[in-house]
Amino acid sequence: MAEIQISENETPLHKLETVYRRLTERLTTSSFPPSALRPVVDAWFYALEEDALAAGATEAELPGEVEKLLVARLAEVSRHAPSFATALRGYRAALADGDETTAAAVLAWLGGQPHVAASARRSAGVRGDLDHFGALGFLQGLLTVLRDSGHTGLFVVLDEVETLQRVRSDARDKALNALRQLIDEVHSGRFPGLYLVITGTPAFYDGQQGVQRLAPLAQRLATDFTTDPRFDNPRAVQIRLPGFTQESLVGLGATIRDLYADAAASPERVQTVVDDAYVADLARAVGGALGGKVGVAPRLFLKKLVGDVLDRVDQFDDFDPRQHYRLTVASSELTDVERNLAATVTGGSASADDIDLEL
């Protein structure tokens, strides 16, 4: 999995080489935190060796057989990005020579990092930096490596894409076209195993400064939301995310409580003391502190549930949240939206000093 925050300065969407670099930086698996690129590549070479040995290769024949498997597995990738396979060979050769510095540098280049030492690139037989078009080939190669090393696929989230509405018109148009290109490549089957999620506000999808600005992209993402939300098609290209209700917030809290209990010193105590009834009471209290707006309560609710309640239940045998805990919400721990909602409960700002004026 990889979650990528789109931003004009750090990760512009129209520069797919930067998006790919962020992907490799944030790549995580069930076993390894970001960046999991090196463990994944090492696991892939190990899998190639195991396959070669299973096919009857001797230790002396192993390097040559691994090379044959590398060429065969990356044949399709090499049609578009031959330097991907070349870099993998350079990485393996550097490890075989005991040159950890060069191996790390070559792997960084494979991950799209710029400014890799020229000596490392020369030793691996690659040149220059990754560009916009090469990024798609490298993504294809990464998916192949993930698949062959035992992973079912790659889940990628492009988050905060709605920020495109606030960038210069030329950059926005390039970014929307890059998004269209990426969607077309996924639809064509070039990236088997890739599940791409693009988050955005309704204004981004429906407004004239977002998707609607590029007609081909708007056509690809068009989804009918005029019907009853109960019958939304979960297979549609767009999925409507309804806000939290009291019931779904309680369900979320119960799920988090169960996950926490699995790792707690006394799972039974966590489940008993923080039962469903208490989770529901806390959810109502947090929602009430925010003017009853349950839809914006999850962040604060989970913070209070885990940090104020579950941690104490786990650490103190005599702690009972019904007796020893009272919900408090300080202004300093709220976002601007939450603070505004909390102000409606207290009747507005406590004093004139609480009001910020732009002079």
Residue reference for tokens 């004139």: 352
Specify which residues 194 forms β-bridges with. Answer: 154
- In degrees rounded to 5, what are phi and psi of residue 197? -115, 130
Chain segment 251-302, per-residue pLDDT in tens: 999 999 999 999 998 999 999 999 999 999 999 888 887 777 776 678 888 9
Q: Catalogue the long-range contacts made by 224-233 (C-beta closer than 8 Å, 24 or more residues apart).
A: none
Task: Quote the DSSP letter at residue 156.
Answer: E
Report the percentage of the chain scoring pLDDT > 70. Answer: 93
CA distance linking residue 313 with residue 303, whole number of Å? 15
CA distance linking residue 76 with residue 260, whole number of Å? 44
Is residue 354 over pLDDT 50?
Answer: no
Could you tell me if 160 and 5 are in contact, meaning their C-beta atoms sit under 8 angstroms apart?
yes
Mean pLDDT of 143-169: 92
Would you call 195 helix, strand, or coil by DSSP?
strand
Shortest CA distance to 309 belongs to which of 290, 342, 281?
Answer: 281
CA distance linking residue 258 with residue 262, whole number of Å? 6
Mean pLDDT of 19-35: 94
What is the pLDDT confidence band of residue 41, given thresholds at 50, 70 and 90?
A: very high
Mean pLDDT of 183-194: 93
Q: Where are the domains of the chain?
A: 18-150, 246-350
Task: Specify the range with the lowest mean pLDDT, choosing from 19-33, 143-157, 314-328, 334-348.
Answer: 334-348
Shortest CA distance to 40 belongs to which of 56, 24, 17?
Answer: 24
Run of H or E residues at 154 = strand 154-159
Is residue 348 over pLDDT 50?
Answer: no
Mean residue pLDDT of the chain comes to 89
What pLDDT, on the 0 to 100 scale, is given for residue 327?
Answer: 87
Shortest CA distance to 226 belongs to which of 243, 196, 206, 245?
Answer: 206
What pLDDT, on the 0 to 100 scale, is given for residue 296?
Answer: 67
CA atoms within 13 A on the CB side of 284: 6
CA distance linking residue 141 with residue 82, whole number of Å? 10
What pLDDT, on the 0 to 100 scale, is given for residue 184?
Answer: 94
What pLDDT, on the 0 to 100 scale, is given for residue 333?
Answer: 74
Mean pLDDT of 47-59: 91
